[in-house]
Amino acid sequence: MTKLPTSRRQLAYMALVLFAPVVLTVALVCWAPPKPGQTQADMWIAVGVVALLVVMMTAILSLSALRHAIDITPDTLVVKHSMYTLKLERAAVTSATVRELPSMDAARLSTKKNGTALFGYYSGWFWDTRSNLTFCAVSGQPVYLVAFEGSAKCRQLVLNASPEVAQRIAAWANPPTAN
């Protein structure tokens, strides 16, 4: 199993997006004037709900930060990125091409199917402008586009990885032919 790189800057942006609403909620709970009939127990319930939200958001951010790996076996390619997973069977892929992208715009993504796109962080399932299902695992540079041929549901994989990992994926998808 190979770890994919993560970007601390993008994780900081994600933390900001996740925790900004919680900070505003805490401010409202702490500084809002009490309503008539409000008790101290009501305040503690509100604090407990906010604490539960903070724990849940921290768990989501931790999962996003820790789950970035790729596993290449002779039969499968598994990419785990944040909360999303791509699993391709070797039998469903006849060949693949790999190329480095100068920017994420070159991936020509159009719509999120089930994923996250924040500040250059792309994780999950997207449609491209040609209606190809694309799995993204991007949290830094360099970015590679792997286009699959065959009967696999996923037609493209966009990921940031080392050139060696990109070439391992190409070798997995394009095994040498026996003469």
Query: Stretch 41-65: mean pLDDT, rounded?
Result: 79
Does the pLDDT of residue 178 top 60, yes or no?
A: no
* Confidence (pLDDT) at 125: 92
Cβ–Cβ < 8 Å for 138, 79: no
Cβ–Cβ < 8 Å for 96, 61: no
State pLDDT tens for residues 133-167. 999 988 888 899 999 998 888 899 999 888 899 89
Task: Find where tokens 């391709």 sit.
Answer: 88
Cβ–Cβ < 8 Å for 158, 143: yes
**C-beta atoms surrounding 3 within 10 Å:** 11
Cβ–Cβ < 8 Å for 92, 172: no
Cβ–Cβ < 8 Å for 82, 67: yes
Taking the mean position of all CA atoms in its chain, how far away is CA 85? 9
* Confidence (pLDDT) at 4: 65
